[in-house]
Amino acid sequence: MSKVKRILSRNAVPILFAIVCLLGVFYANRPFQFLLMEIVKRMARNSFLVLSLIIPVVAGMGLNFGIVLGALAGQIALILSTHWEWAGIGGLALTALLATPLAVLFGTLAGLVLNKAKGREMITSMVMGFFANGVYQFIFLFLVGTLIPFDNPALRISTSPGLRNTVDLTRVRGVLDNIWTVQYGFTKIPIVTFLVIALLAVAIWAFFKTKLGQDFRAVGQDRHIASVAGIQTDRNRVLAIVFSTVLAAWGQIIFLQNIGTLNTYNSHEQVGTFAIAALLIGGASVTRATIGQALMGTFLFHVLFVVSPSAGQTIFGSAQVGEYFRVFVAYGIIAISLALHAWRGKSLGKASMEEDVSA
Amino acid sequence: MSVPVLEMKKISKSFYGTQVLKDIDLRVNAGEIHCLVGENGAGKSTLMNILFGMSVITDTGGYEGDLLVNGDHVAFDSPKAAIGAGIGMVHQEFMLLPGFTVTENIKLNRESTKPNLFSRVLGKKLETLDRKQMAADAKAALDKLGMNIEEWVTVAGLPVGYLQFVEIAREIDKQNLQLLVLDEPTAVLTESEAEQFLDVVRRLAKSGISILFITHRLDEVMAVADAITILKDGELVQSGPTQEFTIAQIAELMVGRKVDTSARLGAEQAREGKKKVLEIRDLRVDMPGERLRGIDLDVYEGEILGIGGLAGHGKIALANGIMGLYPSRGQVRYEGTEVPLNNPRKALDLGLAFVSEDRRGVGLVLEDSIANNIVLTSMQTQDKFLKPGPLKLKDQKQITAHALESIKRFDIRCTGPDQIVRRLSGGNQQKVCLARAFTQNPRLFFVSEPTRGIDVGAKSRVLELIVELNRMGVTVVITSSELAELRSISDRIAIIYEGRLSGILPPDAPDVEYGLLMAGKSLEEVEIGERPSK
Amino acid sequence: MKDRVSKVYHGFGLPRLIISAFLLTLIIVAAGTELSVPGLLSDALVRIGQNGIYVLAMVPSIQAGAGLNFGLPLGVIAGMVGVLVSMENSLLGLGGFAVALLVAIPLGVVAGYLYSLLLNRVAGQEMMVGTYVGFSIVAGMCIFWLMAPFKNPALIWPVGGQGLRVTLTLADTFGGTLNNFLNVKLFGLTIPTGLLLFYALLAFLLWLFLRSKPGVAMEVVGRNPRFAVASGLNINAYRSVGITLSTVLAAVGYVVYAQSFGFAQLYNGPLMTAFPAVAAVLIGGASTREAKVRHAVIGVVLFQTLLTVAMPVTNQLIEGNISEIARVIVSNGMILYALTRVTGGEQA
């Protein structure tokens, strides 16, 4: 009995969202095949990005709003690979390879900045994301074609500076997804993409069984104690952010090969918010995140995403309501998680004091 | 005689010209339990920092004297070097990760690993943890202590009393451990846990590991120590086998000092016929590390009452509790009216003022000016320094005038009333605190550790100011770790032991009586017991 | 003399001197192009008055120890409701403006007080929680705008649509009321006297409050809560005062902004309002722990002038409209800098 209760209370968030999703599915009244197709597509697209958030959480740096930097690295690599006309799965792999050093560089910079903002990592990483976005836009909207000579009709219109607003990724569109698909009704299941996601999940799991993973966990629990034990905390924190950034870069490449077009100036904007919301809906918190929570959260969040407009149409007579509702949920869940985290942090201090009184 | 495991010879250390250690000798033999005792500020931690090559020492010009381990000269430039030489330390605060298991904590950053496919390419850091081996090591270390702790439980789930043992297990798991430093390990333990702990310490010593045991609890010292070293004010007072000491002697040696008590002689008589201004009944204060467990005490009008005792026994909590800064229970009456507890505002409104022992944390707004620090409390509680009118705007002219006057009166060395207090020296900061309290025109004045961390010149000025305030008719309750200071200005001195009143003494009572009260013996025992000649 | 120079220098600070020098250079450059310098400066004046109150709103929040108020959209939405209620009733001119304020202020008080109750429970994490509470409220209000019971055809979508329009024009109600009040033209410069007077009045009132007994108490609470407790002050109460005041200023700020801008942008319009305001107060010399009215005023003048003057000038050199991107880079860069700066060393 108490065990059931514990499982319920520990998973209160995903259970609550599962209920909301079920209601949504009921009111949306869309055919099962449609839902399945949408969910499979979105899971394949987004899971990798959500998984990239886990390592910094375990290393005690909270939710890495800075995965936007990784997404940017992925996009820059894609822009270049489009320019050089890399194609096929080989081209995509090469793109990922090209994104890696960029992501390592961005991640290192981000990690160094975050080490200067200990205790304020999340807001700093968020602002850093906005800042990096500004610089990215400055480069690709202004410098490219003016100061940086760049002439490629696929990427820019020669009459105005900057890249096109949307870039067709014809050469790599679906190259990962389509290696091997299994048809189920209307749904094409991209087996290889899911294998890649599974591989990442296993890799993260195995990583936390290594010495370095154990060091990350130790630093995440208490920087001071870890450093007294001789663990290089600052270095480990930078590494954690580098890992996350690199994974986010690859995740963004997988995401975009699935979509097939690059929205040069907005594809990455909501990456952080949506991935973080998905992770939290899975039951993760600022200090605890598991692979299961990431995958469960991605699933629930995207069910909600798919059914909201239709459910909104049924309930309120407006699909728009549903669309706003899902954005509200994304922001709201983050706000609640952050507040609960801070709140608990404060009352923990109080609780330990009260224990003292009774002693 | 065999070579001692650790020998410190003529160790001296100064911080920025202030000598904190002078010619300390310390010798710990193999398998010996050596107790290091001394009041706060006696130099114990500095000595341990030297032993461990901590950066606070190396960054401030190192130390003088010799350090020998097993007869060989050594100089550790980092804790890592000390640990490598077989010296381990259990810290006062727990160094355990709550979310890790006992095993993971014991093996923290010394995990056993085995290579895998990736580690061969990417380096040792990616080797897989060998959890079986780790668990076996942890079990072995715990067994050595005779502890029956499951090595797979997370530390967060263990009772507080067990944490200390996990820490020790971690140290003895280090293969070459030969000297273990225990820094006030029993402070957080209950009596029975402490008992068990001492057993483990004895057991370790028997297995050949030397123990350097730092503690305030003198009965523990007598119970386990083979040898004792007493420090005071950075100097070695006495060192020798335990048999050569009694508890009272140790206490006396820890606190004793030549004192000029003539100033306050006769004050005891003057109290006759004075009325009680403050009656404290069964006051309990929950101040972490300084708990007060029920105390009855009266304060008489116009006196200076000193509150003394060893660190950690609760003397600090008295004023903090009455002023409402820490959760309290009990009854406090001021001139017949009840002082509501846990309500700082009410205490201030009754005319009580407080200068906290935590000068930088509670006593001052460090980023604010001298002038504001002096007037803030009075402005908020007494509506002083405000312009007339409904807006209650602050009256800058009046504030500046008052600040200038205070600076002159208290001899605050500064560039002017607008200077930020963070930039002042400790002594001048303390004078600002006193000025703030004086500005409140208190009738009962609490002051805690008024001279802690300030230079000698400022010390005497601060004490003078307190006496001056007392002469103006203000009753003073002064709390201090420096017994000499209490005895030089107080009319009576109450000694607190383990959260309770141990006894009250006149300032000219012999050192040994103070020593006994601080060690928790009653005055009756003093009368009956050996009263060694002074 | 040397003393005085150094005093001015330290009071004003090096970053602000650099920005001022940069601005001066830009204005000189602008004079050499076909741009109209008085026109640019007139624009700058309008933008200063238009955004100034948002920046003022940062001061009480920082002084009360709650950090930069990233939850600004909360107050903005209170202001929005005020504007909508006034427009719904087709109130014109100063009357419309006043009614908008009369509705916005009590809403701001309620919203700000509730918000402060939350922030008091998450002390230490106010900025992050505030950011996402702000985002959530904006997103939640999107649903409200769709369903809100407004009837005035000027506000709602014409046939076929549902709910309020995305962009409403205030031109027919009270747009520009304040800007055109006592409007003065001088050497080609248009001075929005009413707007600036209103801003100055609020700045003065805030300055006065900070010098009053409760204002001083709030500052003590923000600077050292433990000292404040020992001085008998109720920490949470004064934090609530600061946060509520900040929210109310944001509400008033929105009403003023909308009348000056001439449009009200609903839905995601207020999402990022906090960021330029935060950046401006930091540019003015504030930190996450200390802000004065002076910082807010200097900050908004420098930041908004920079945006209005610098951008057209650079646009002469680089094609395209760069102002939005520059705003993003400058404001986030400034915030990043403030977040990573070691704070006063109070905890070594």
Who contacts C250 (Cβ-Cβ below 8 Å, separation ≥6)? C53, C54, C57, C69, C72, C73, C74, C75, C76, C78, C79, C108, C273
Confidence tier at A264 by pLDDT (50, 70, 90): confident
Of A134, A317, A320, the CB nearest to C328: A134
Residue A240 domain-assigned (yes or no): yes
Span of A155-159, C57-61, C103-107 with lowest mean pLDDT: A155-159
Residue B416 pLDDT > 80: yes
With CA atoms as reference, report the closest residue to C79 among C43, C50, C59: C50
* Backbone region of residue B392 per phi and psi (left: phi > 0; alpha: psi in -120 to 50; beta: other values): left
- Give the pLDDT confidence score for residue B270 in this predicted structure: 54
Structural domains in chain B (count): 4
With CA atoms as reference, report the closest residue to B426 among B462, B460, B464, B455: B455
- Give the pLDDT confidence score for residue C317 in this predicted structure: 65
Unique residue bearing structure tokens 């995207």: A302
Confidence tier at B264 by pLDDT (50, 70, 90): low
C3 touches chain B (CB under 8 A): no
Confidence tier at B135 by pLDDT (50, 70, 90): very high
Residue C25 domain-assigned (yes or no): no
A window 208-237, beta carbon within 8 A of B = 209-212, 214-215, 217-218, 221-222, 225-226, 228-231
Grouping H, G, I as helix, E, B as strand and the rest as coil, residue B213 is strand
- Give the pLDDT confidence score for residue C161 in this predicted structure: 67
- Give the pLDDT confidence score for residue A359 in this predicted structure: 28
> B448 and B533, same structural domain?
yes
Inter-chain contacts counted by CB atoms under 8 A, chains B and C: 74
> B460 and B435, same structural domain?
no
For residue B361, give the chain C residue with the closest CA: C226
Of A124, A318, A341, the CB nearest to C146: A318
Q: How far is B465 from chain C (nearest CA, A)?
A: 22
Question: Which amino acid makes up residue C337?
Answer: Y
Q: Which of chain A's residues have a Cβ under 8 Å away from the Cβ of C140? A: 328, 332
Cβ of A222 and B97 within 8 Å?
yes
Rounded to the nearest 5 degrees, what angle is found at the Cα of C108, between the Cα atoms of C106 and C110?
A: 70
Residue A356 pLDDT > 70: no
Average pLDDT of chain A is 87
Cα(A157)–Cα(C252) distance, rounded to whole angstroms? Answer: 44
- For the stretch B167-226, pLDDT in tens is 889 988 887 889 999 988 776 677 777 888 888 889 888 888 899 998 877 778 888 899
Annotate B264-286 with b (16+ C-beta within 10 A) or e (fewer).
beebeeeeeeeeebbbbeebbbb
Residue A237 domain-assigned (yes or no): yes
> B168 and B186, same structural domain?
no
Selected residue with higher pLDDT from B163 and A190: A190
- Assess contact for C206 and C62: CB atoms under 8 A: no
- For the stretch B137-160, pLDDT in tens is 999 988 888 778 888 888 887 877
Residue B269 pLDDT > 70: no
Cβ of B125 and A229 within 8 Å?
no
Confidence tier at B525 by pLDDT (50, 70, 90): low
- Give the pLDDT confidence score for residue B533 in this predicted structure: 38
The DSSP secondary structure of B58-127, one letter per residue, reads: HTTT--EEEEEETTEEE--SSHHHHHHTTEEEE-SS----TTSBHHHHHTTT---EE--HHHHHH-GGGP
For residue C275, give the chain A residue with the closest CA: A127
- Checking ipTM against 0.90, whether it exceeds it is no
Which tokens is A192 given?
A: 């290889």
> B171 and B181, same structural domain?
no
Cα(B166)–Cα(B145) distance, rounded to whole angstroms? Answer: 10
Residue A145 pLDDT > 90: no
Q: What is the CATH number of the domain that holds B474?
A: 3.40.50.300
Cβ of B345 and C232 within 8 Å?
yes
Selected residue with higher pLDDT from B34 and B259: B34
Structural domains in chain C (count): 1
C71 burial type by CB count under 10 A (0-12 exposed, 13-18 middle, 19+ buried): buried
Residue C346 pLDDT > 50: no
Residue B498 pLDDT > 90: no
Residue C300 domain-assigned (yes or no): no
- For the stretch C9-59, pLDDT in tens is 666 777 788 888 888 888 888 887 777 888 888 889 999 999 999 999 999
Annotate B391-415 with b (16+ C-beta within 10 A) or e (fewer).
ebbbbeeebbebbeebbeebebebe
C342 touches chain B (CB under 8 A): no
Cα(C69)–Cα(C278) distance, rounded to whole angstroms? Answer: 7
Unique residue bearing structure tokens 């009008």: B301
- Give the pLDDT confidence score for residue B413 in this predicted structure: 87
Residue C154 domain-assigned (yes or no): yes
Strand ranges, E, within C104-200:
167-169, 184-186, 189-191
With CA atoms as reference, report the closest residue to B463 among B477, B481, B451, B475: B451
Q: What is the CATH number of the domain that holds A249?
A: 1.10.3470
- Give the pLDDT confidence score for residue C139 in this predicted structure: 92
Q: How far is C215 from chain B (nearest CA, A)?
A: 9
Which range marks the domain in which residue A209 is found? 11-350
Residue B433 pLDDT > 80: yes
Q: Which of chain A's residues have a Cβ under 8 Å away from the Cβ of B98? A: 221-222
- Assess contact for C109 and A283: CB atoms under 8 A: no
For residue B114, give the chain A residue with the closest CA: A210
> B180 and B168, same structural domain?
no
Residue B250 domain-assigned (yes or no): no
Residue B252 domain-assigned (yes or no): no
- Give the pLDDT confidence score for residue B249 in this predicted structure: 80
Cβ of A131 and C121 within 8 Å?
no
Q: How far is A182 from chain C (nearest CA, A)?
A: 38
Span of A344-353, B13-22, B229-238 with lowest mean pLDDT: A344-353
Residue B530 pLDDT > 60: no
Highest mean pLDDT among A132-146, A227-241, C247-261: C247-261
Q: How far is B129 from chain A (nearest CA, A)?
A: 5
Question: Residues A8-36: what's their mean pLDDT?
Answer: 87
Integer angstrom CA distances of residue C207 from C57, C59, C294, C315: 12, 10, 9, 38
Residue B533 domain-assigned (yes or no): yes
Residue B375 pLDDT > 90: yes
Q: Which of chain A's residues have a Cβ under 8 Å away from the Cβ of B111? A: 211, 214
Of B79, B100, B109, the CB nearest to A231: B109
Selected residue with higher pLDDT from A159 and C213: C213
> B446 and B347, same structural domain?
yes
Q: What percent of chain B has pLDDT over 70?
A: 93
Pick among A202, A210, A242 to test the B interface (most B CBs inside 10 A): A210
- Give the pLDDT confidence score for residue B405 in this predicted structure: 93
Integer angstrom CA distances of residue A43 from A40, A144, A204, A254, C79: 5, 34, 18, 11, 40
Residue B253 domain-assigned (yes or no): no
- Give the pLDDT confidence score for residue B282 in this predicted structure: 93
For residue B396, give the chain C residue with the closest CA: C211
Q: What percent of chain C has pLDDT over 70?
A: 92
- Give the pLDDT confidence score for residue C11 in this predicted structure: 64
- Give the pLDDT confidence score for residue B532 in this predicted structure: 43
Q: How far is A348 from chain B (nearest CA, A)?
A: 13
Question: DSSP letter at B421?
Answer: G
For residue C327, give the chain A residue with the closest CA: A134
Which range marks the domain in which residue C165 is found? 36-271
- Give the pLDDT confidence score for residue C226 in this predicted structure: 92
Cβ of C336 and A124 within 8 Å?
yes
- Give the pLDDT confidence score for residue B534 in this predicted structure: 35
Q: How far is C257 from chain B (nearest CA, A)?
A: 29
- Give the pLDDT confidence score for residue B309 in this predicted structure: 86
> B240 and B162, same structural domain?
no
Selected residue with higher pLDDT from B490 and A147: B490
> B343 and B452, same structural domain?
yes
Which range marks the domain in which residue B408 is found? 361-441
Who contacts C210 (Cβ-Cβ below 8 Å, separation ≥6)? C59, C60, C63, C216, C218, C219, C292, C293
Question: Which amino acid makes up residue C192?
Answer: P
Cβ of B344 and C230 within 8 Å?
yes
- Give the pLDDT confidence score for residue C182 in this predicted structure: 81
Residue A349 pLDDT > 70: no
Grouping H, G, I as helix, E, B as strand and the rest as coil, residue B16 is coil
What is the sign, positive or negative, of the torsion defined by CA atoms of C85, C87, C90, C93? Answer: positive
Cβ of B344 and C213 within 8 Å?
no
Of B347, B362, B391, the CB nearest to C227: B362
Structural domains in chain A (count): 1
Average pLDDT of chain B is 85
Confidence tier at A346 by pLDDT (50, 70, 90): low
Question: Residues C78-102: what's their mean pLDDT?
Answer: 91
Residue C226 domain-assigned (yes or no): yes
Cα(A167)–Cα(B476) distance, rounded to whole angstroms? Answer: 80
Confidence tier at B271 by pLDDT (50, 70, 90): low
Question: Residues B343-356: what's their mean pLDDT?
Answer: 93
Which tokens is A37 given?
A: 């197709």
Q: Which of chain C's residues have a Cβ under 8 Å away from the Cβ of A146? A: 318-319
Cα(C224)–Cα(C64) distance, rounded to whole angstroms? Answer: 10
Q: What is the pTM of this model?
A: 0.85
The DSSP secondary structure of A77-119, one letter per residue, reads: HHHHHHHTT--HHHHHHHHHHHHHHHHHHHHHHHHHHHHTSTT
Residue C323 pLDDT > 90: no
Confidence tier at B444 by pLDDT (50, 70, 90): very high
Residue A1 domain-assigned (yes or no): no
Of C122, C143, C318, the CB nearest to A328: C143
What is the sign, positive or negative, of the torsion defined by CA atoms of A26, A31, A33, A39? Answer: negative
Annotate B291-330 with b (16+ C-beta within 10 A) or e (fewer).
bbbebebebbbbbbbbbbbbbbbbbbbbbbbbbbbbbbeb
Q: How far is B185 from chain C (nearest CA, A)?
A: 26
Selected residue with higher pLDDT from A346 and A81: A81
Q: What percent of chain C has pLDDT over 90?
A: 46
Q: Which of chain B's residues have a Cβ under 8 Å away from the Cβ of C226? A: 358, 361-362
Cα(C267)–Cα(C137) distance, rounded to whole angstroms? Answer: 10
- For the stretch B79-102, pLDDT in tens is 888 888 888 888 777 888 988 999
With CA atoms as reference, report the closest residue to B232 among B491, B452, B41, B71: B41
- For the stretch B351-361, pLDDT in tens is 999 999 988 88
